[in-house]
């Protein structure tokens, strides 16, 4: 029988204070999912807040994406890169907001634009950004360099 965890104790909720809504009332989430949320929440929140232009809206977008990840956790976990699958969900979740806020997002492929936001707007290292997107640092650098070339 799967363990049930209340996700109110995760970083996703504790960073916003005691008035924050939990990710779910009670979600069946294996420890791996809880650890995944704890590990990825800071970057997800910062990225989506940057895209949305609002910390509150960004936190909501990140929460929604992680809730979708929870719903599809067995599929995400069984993918070649769970971090890449989850990032894809977050990136798509932010897509509607993204189109309104950045010309670069209209010119570049979605993941190229994400790479520029992570590296240049949020100041993450290639290692940190690649980890968030579910790819090695060298692959992230190739993606980022391609984005820079496409803007030229």
Do 69 and 107 lie in a common domain? no
The predicted model gives 76-91 an average pLDDT of 95
- The predicted model scores a pTM of 0.78
Do 95 and 128 lie in a common domain? no
Averaged pLDDT score across all residues of the chain: 82
Do 93 and 134 lie in a common domain? no
Quick check: 21 pLDDT over 50?
no
pLDDT tens per residue, range 113-137? 999 999 999 999 999 999 999 999 9
pLDDT tens per residue, range 93-116? 998 776 555 566 568 899 999 999
How many structural domains are present in the chain? 2
Task: Please enumerate in sequence order all residues whose Cβ is within 8 A of that of 145, keeping only pairs 6 or more positions apart, or say none.
Answer: none
Do 57 and 91 lie in a common domain? yes
Closest alpha carbon to 10 in 99, 74, 70: 70
Q: Which domain holds residue 119?
A: 103-152
The predicted model gives 24-50 an average pLDDT of 85
> 3-class DSSP state for residue 5?
strand
Q: What is the pLDDT of residue 107?
A: 81
Q: What is the pLDDT of residue 16?
A: 38
């Amino acid at each position: 029988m799967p363990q049930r965890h209340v996700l109110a104790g995760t970083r996703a909720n504790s960073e916003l204070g005691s008035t924050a809504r939990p990710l779910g009332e009670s979600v069946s989430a294996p420890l791996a999912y809880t650890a995944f949320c704890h590990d990825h929440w800071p970057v997800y929140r910062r990225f989506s807040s940057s895209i949305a232009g609002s910390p509150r809206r960004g936190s909501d977008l990140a929460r929604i994406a992680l809730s979708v990840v929870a719903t599809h956790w067995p599929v995400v976990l069984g993918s070649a890169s769970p971090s890449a699958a989850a990032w894809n969900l977050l990136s798509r979740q932010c897509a509607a907001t993204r189109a309104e806020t950045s010309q670069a997002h209209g010119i570049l492929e979605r993941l190229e634009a994400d790479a520029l936001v992570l590296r240049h707007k949020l100041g993450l290292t290639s290692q940190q950004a690649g980890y968030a997107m579910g790819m090695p640092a060298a692959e992230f650098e190739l993606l980022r360099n391609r984005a820079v070339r496409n803007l030229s």
